[in-house]
């Protein structure tokens, strides 16, 4: 009788361990998929921010000046862009735009 009890305990422990492994493995794969999806969303948002920052900076650099409200808008975009890990071209353009003279007479209602 002890022989059967000993093997039943091992059998039940094996079933429990296999079940636990299956549950943890499934959970891990779901979590990994969610993390990958979040990284893809982050990369997409970063790309959109970069594009918008690039377009605005190019516009104001071509104008040779920037209004205070436009500068605040560029700064707002840049902060988000930078906090998500953006740098390089966006940072260079942002730095150049912040050095532009302020156009205090420009109409902020007609911003680009």
Residue 27 has pLDDT above 90, yes or no: no
The residue extents of the domains of the chain are: 2-110
- What pTM, to 2 d.p., does this model score? 0.69
Quick: pLDDT tens for 80-103: 999 999 888 899 999 999 999 998
Cβ partners under 8 Å of residue 66, min gap 6: 60, 74, 97, 100, 101, 102, 103
Residue 48 has pLDDT above 60, yes or no: yes
Residue 19 has pLDDT above 90, yes or no: no
Q: Where does the pLDDT of residue 1 fall: very low under 50, low under 70, confident under 90, or very high at 90 and above? A: low
Residue 43 has pLDDT above 70, yes or no: yes
- Measured CA to CA, the distance from residue 106 to residue 14 in angstroms comes to 76
Residue 8 has pLDDT above 90, yes or no: no
**CA atoms lying within 13 Å on the CB side of residue 24:** 6
> Which run of H or E residues covers position 37?
helix 2-63
- Measured CA to CA, the distance from residue 54 to residue 59 in angstroms comes to 9
Question: What average pLDDT does the chain have?
Answer: 87
- Measured CA to CA, the distance from residue 46 to residue 33 in angstroms comes to 20
Confidence (pLDDT) at 67: 95
């Amino acid at each position: 009788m002890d022989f059967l009890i000993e093997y039943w305990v091992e059998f039940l422990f094996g079933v429990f361990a296999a079940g636990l492994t299956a549950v943890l493995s499934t959970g891990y794969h779901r979590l990994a998929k969610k993390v990958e999806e979040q990284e893809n969303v982050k990369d997409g948002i970063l790309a959109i921010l970069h594009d918008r920052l690039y377009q605005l900076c190019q516009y104001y650099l071509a104008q040779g000046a920037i209004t205070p409200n436009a500068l605040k808008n560029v700064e707002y975009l840049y902060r988000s862009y930078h906090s998500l890990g953006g740098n390089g071209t966006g940072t260079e353009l942002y730095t150049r735009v912040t050095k532009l003279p302020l156009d205090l007479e420009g109409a902020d209602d007609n911003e680009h």
